Amino acid sequence: MMNMSRKILVIGSAGQIGSELVPALRKKYGGENVIATGRRTPLPDAIKKSGPVIYLDALDKNSIAKIIFEYEIDTIFHMASILSATGEKIPQTAWDINLNGLINVLEVARSYKIDRVIWPSSIAAFGPTTPRENTPNITVLQPTTMYGITKVAGELLAEYYYNKYNLDIRSVRLPGIISSETLPGGGTTDYAVEIFYEAIKNKQYTCFLKEDTVLPMLYMPDCNKCMIDLLEADNSKLKRRVYNLTGISFSAGEIAAEIKKHIPEFKIEYKPDFRQAIADSWPKTIDDSFAREEWGWNPEYDLESMTQDMIDILSKRL
Ligand code: SER
């Protein structure tokens, strides 16, 4: 049964995912029941106008507790994170925000007996020793980025808090997210969003990954669906806390070719930088059969329909 009376706290509401997840949650659970928080980046107007908005530093445990107490929060989405490429520039800060932020949330969640916590892991939890094709849910996790290290540690913490404290935390290893509302910041998969903006505005794009680099991706409407489906999944069917997940795998060359069908003048060149090594350490395709079997994961978009939708939305706006 869906619990339609949730009181949800979203930490990291201004980010690429948070800025679209908050409106999706408010649509489902009601504007007043979804508390959007942020710290550095201003929140989008749509979020400010549709429900409560609060300043929150995820490193400040007492402030998290205060919001939980005042708003009678029972559900937390912890989305604040420093991504892979930025994490390589400021690894100690990435450790601090990603892991100390997470353990704060877990500690407060267990002491306030929070009903459910959703926290995304990432394909960055995998590394060069992981099989790269059809990567299984249970496999080698030896990432080479600080971001990946924080995700592996976070996954272990999730299992630990579930087993030791019975905290119902759930996680998915998100692939690259393609979205039209807020640009991603500092990730290795960001090219797959930037390419649309540049194709529409300037008809050309210089890609920081090689043409044949294949990575798993997910379109934002499917990402929102995933977050809500995971939140509402029946706990008795879940055999683990962390799930592989994927939408569409494609190479930089394949997405460029798909965009060219809509914008024939579009030109792309490839100038790989330090992010190529990160991409080369991640899977190309993901086996997400556990998510499909245990909570019915089933994405809707393929490369063609995602590209069409992105171009429709961005052409109107830009
Ligand atoms: N999109 C993320 C990144 O590129 C992967 O989780 O860092």
Per-residue pLDDT reduced to its tens digit, 60-93:
999 999 999 999 999 999 999 999 999 999 999 9
Q: How far does the centroid of ligand 1 lie from the alpha carbon of residue 125, in Å?
A: 10
Domain that holds residue 67: 8-175+220-246+286-295
Q: What is the pLDDT of residue 2?
A: 56
Claim to verify: residue 53 and residue 150 sit in the same structural domain: yes
- DSSP letters, the chain, are ---TT--EEEE-TTSTTHHHHHHHHHHHH-GGGEEEEESSSPPPHHHHHHS-EEE--TT-HHHHHHHHHHHT--EEEE-----HHHHHHSHHHHHIIIIIHHHHHHHHHHHTT-SEEE--EEGGG--TTS--SSB-SSS----SSHHHHHHHHHHHHHHHHHHHH---EEEEEE-EEE-SSS---S-SSTHHHHHHHHHHHTSEEEESS-TT-EEEEEEHHHHHHHHHHHHHS-GGG---SEEE--SEEEEHHHHHHHHHHH-TT-EEEE---THHHHHHTS-SSB--HHHHHHH-------HHHHHHHHHHHHHHH-
Claim to verify: residue 275 and residue 290 sit in the same structural domain: no
Claim to verify: residue 152 and residue 202 sit in the same structural domain: no
Q: What is the pLDDT of residues 188-232, one digit of tens each?
A: 999 999 999 999 999 999 999 999 999 999 999 999 999 999 999
Q: What is the pLDDT of residue 4?
A: 74
Q: What is the pLDDT of residue 259?
A: 98
Q: What is the pLDDT of residue 91?
A: 98
Q: Whose CA is nearest to atom 1 of ligand 1?
A: 176
Q: How far does the centroid of ligand 1 lie from the alpha carbon of residue 40, in Å?
A: 19
Reported confidence tier of residue 3, pLDDT bands at 50, 70, 90 = low
Taking the CA of residue 176 as reference, the ligand 1 atom at the shortest distance is 1
Q: What is the pLDDT of residues 18-62, one digit of tens each?
A: 999 999 999 999 999 999 999 988 999 999 999 999 999 999 999
Tell me, yes or no, whether 182 lies in a domain. Answer: no
Would you say residue 99 has pLDDT above 80? yes
Tell me, yes or no, whether 229 lies in a domain. Answer: yes
Q: How many domains does one find in the chain?
A: 2
Tell me, yes or no, whether 3 lies in a domain. Answer: no
The residue that leads in pLDDT, 239 or 42, is 239
pTM of the model: 0.97
Does any ligand 1 atom lie closer than 6 A to the CB of residue 187?
A: yes
Q: How far does the centroid of ligand 1 lie from the alpha carbon of residue 26, in Å?
A: 25
Share of the chain above pLDDT 90, in %: 97
Tell me, yes or no, whether 30 lies in a domain. Answer: yes
Claim to verify: residue 231 and residue 119 sit in the same structural domain: yes
The CATH code of the domain that includes 269 is: 3.90.25
Would you say residue 1 has pLDDT above 70? no
Question: What average pLDDT does range 279-287 have in this prediction?
Answer: 98
Would you say residue 97 has pLDDT above 70? yes
Taking the CA of residue 184 as reference, the ligand 1 atom at the shortest distance is 1
Q: What is the pLDDT of residue 244?
A: 98
